Structure 1
Amino acid sequence: MTRHIYNREEYVRFDSDVGEYRTVTELGRRTAEYWDSQKDLLEQKQAKADTYCRHNYGAVECFTVQRRVAPTVTVYPAKTQPLQHHNLLVCSVNGFYPGHVEVRWFRNGQEEEAGVVSTGLIPNGDWTFQTMVMLETVPQSGEVYTCHVEHPSRTSPVTVEWKHPALQPKGPPPLKNLLSRLLHGLNRSPA
């Protein structure tokens, strides 16, 4: 397909599926009629489309149309706030391709629709995309927030949970404590 643009508006295009020019706006009507009346021009355009476009499409299709890169999903609060204070939870979805992604917030298994704000799709400049979907909320004791992400690169959704840090166990996990004690014991010099 060849597109012709004037003043940032497409007005006529060559449609290689039918081998003719198609009008996009009224401005392109006379141009399309004129070019469609020139049969050797149409044959040349169709030959170029068959030789170059279809061949090149087949060569790059696996890198573009069929390309899939799974997103990285991170959830964090915009500010560190105590329980029962207004906060903004951020679900950062980054590094995915293609650009279609669905991001939803849940609180205790129920979808949250009010107070949800999105940055929209942002290109990263490396053929991947990112978006941030925020939930305005006042976290309460015992609540679990989940960011639910669906993307064509995955057969199942990515879900990342967030609980207020006041509800998390204090201190490092027991295994980490054990490893720390073992390492300290090994680092002591004999008496």
Structure 2
Amino acid sequence: MRPELTKAELIQGPAELPISAEEIRTHLWTIYPEKTTDEYLELLIKAATSHVETVTWRKLVSQKWRLYLDRWPVGGIVLPFGSVVSVEMVKWLDGDGVDHTLVSGSDYLPAVVGPEPMVMPLGSSWPSGTLFDVDPIRVEFTAGFGSKDKVPEDLRQAIQLLAAHWYEVREAVVVGTTVRKVPFAVDALIGPWKVRRW
């Protein structure tokens, strides 16, 4: 049974985008005007990346997150966002507000159970006793596939398609053109990568 998720907080964003402005420029070679700046292309890439991450409920390029829980689960702590590179810290506040740090390898172990990354207690259960009232359990972890080169090609291609579509079609409705549904191609690419949401 999943514990109630109070919030997940981004601590450190990705160091790079899943694709570069140069890759988008190559993708747009038939319509790309030389005056378009890298900054504008990167805005499109960021928006497309955000869309892919939101729909798949994954993080692509590695980024550090802190997960807050209001109680210990039965079994492992399920980590959101799909692939997890590492678990840096598990801490909890007792009822008196005293902070405790669990030790990886003796108190807990990162694991993958089925399709989901988890933090599992190495003993029979998590610590006992009264927990602090607000956000008592904190887990810091790095989510994502690693560097941009490790992001699956399906997801990188979906980002390119979306960014190129938004580059070429900048209005909500374009009159006098043939209807093309780019999102269908994007859905086909990202569909297999969707993970279960909280």
Q: Same fold (TM over 0.5)?
A: no
Instruction: Decide which structure has greater strand share.
Output: 1
TM superposition score normalised by structure 2: 0.28
Larger RCO (CA under 8 A, 6+ residues apart): 2
TM superposition score normalised by structure 1: 0.29
